[in-house]
A = this chain, B = another copy of it.
Amino acid sequence: MTQGTGRCRAHTNIALIKYWGKQDEQLFLPMNSSLSLTLNAFYTDTKVTLDQALKQDVFLLNHQKQSAEQTLKISNFLDLFRHKYSISAKICVESINHVPTAAGLASSASAFAALAGAINEAARLNIGLQELSTFARRGSGSATRSIFGGFVEWQKGTCSTDSFAIPLDDAAWDIGMLIVVVNHREKIISSRQGMKRTVETSPFYPAWVKSSEKDLVEMKKAIVTKDFSKIGELAESSALKMHATMLSAQPPFTYFEPDSIRVIQRVQELRKKGLECYLTMDAGPNVKILCRLTDMDKLKQELSTEFSQDQMILSGVGSGIHSLSENEWLLSKKGLKS
């Protein structure tokens, strides 16, 4: 395969049962299985062109040619496919991130899922989605889950081939998420470093792994029975337990900002008042609020006394990766939704 083009869209996802800690840093094998909800508000569109004539890989992100360092990360990822499928061509990767800059959300999940989908199409590899998720995983752990839509489980597995994602439920029911963007003052520890420190030093870490596996079982039951309250309680608990492991690391660290605590307090207050919503947080200060899709506007209204419109982003449930037509791709490049 020396020529070919593929275009793919992948949405980001938010873990409800958190992934925190690797058992293999090279292969991105996690210590515990996780479970996420794919969001439709944030996605990456990627076009891959195999071109024998190119002297080296090229990577354009949001129309900007990226540095050698950034391009090398992409090349290393593409090598996984090139080695396995004997592809010799250099590759041009163009990506458009449809994630509001202010959102401060990691785009690596949608980025590597979209890239995996695009190379699969460009080189006509016909890799099935489950296996494709093992490739996405090598780019970024959370990308494993972005291959699918709705509720997705990432089974930790035992080796590189059986650590993959499976779709559980399309979540096409009354579910949404409101993301509160919280500003922070300085760059904090990366999630990769944070995980590593936690695994190596927290006395609570073994209990985290065990309790996550229990939570996962409960969460899957709650999804089957469409028990929104239980899903929310488990999600909030998993997130706060993950943040607890960081406070117990040596030296301790936290992603909490003053405004993160304000959102946590507001969510718990609103719940007492009867507006059912639950929070989750990742390796950063933003707070994501799981709620009923039909409550989302009301929730935003309630929070608008303390947070600006720019700080609040609404999302419904997203689908799995899918091909884009050339026309859809051109619209995406213009910054328009197709």
Contacts and interface: CB of A to CB of B under 8 A. Distances in A.
Contacts of A257: 261
A264 B188 CA distance: 14
A88 interface: no
Contacts of A208: 203-204
A251 interface: yes
Contact of A240 (B207, B233, B247, B265): B247
A282 interface: no
Contacts of A252: 236-237, 240-241
Contact of A244 (B233, B236, B244, B251): B244
Contact of A248 (B204, B256, B261, B265): B204
Interface string A245-267: 11110111010111111101100
A337 interface: no
A251 B237 contact: yes
A66 interface: no
A232 to B, nearest CB: 11
B203 A210 contact: yes
Contacts of A82: none
A104 interface: no
A254 B265 CA distance: 9
Nearest to A265: B185
Contact of A207 (B207, B241, B260, B264): B207
A262 B240 CA distance: 19
Nearest to A262: B258
A100 interface: no
Contacts of A243: 247
A335 interface: no
A246 B243 CA distance: 11
A211 interface: yes
Interface in A201-256: 203-204, 206-208, 210-211, 233, 236-237, 240-241, 243-248, 250-252, 254, 256
6 shortest interchain CB distances as A-B pairs: A258-B258, A244-B244, A244-B247, A203-B211, A204-B204, A240-B247
21 contacts: A203-B207, A203-B210, A203-B211, A204-B204, A204-B244, A204-B248, A206-B207, A211-B248, A236-B251, A237-B250, A240-B247, A241-B247, A241-B248, A241-B252, A244-B245, A244-B248, A247-B247, A254-B261, A257-B261, A258-B258, A258-B259
Interface of A: 185, 203-204, 206-208, 210-211, 233, 236-237, 240-241, 243-248, 250-252, 254, 256-262, 264-265
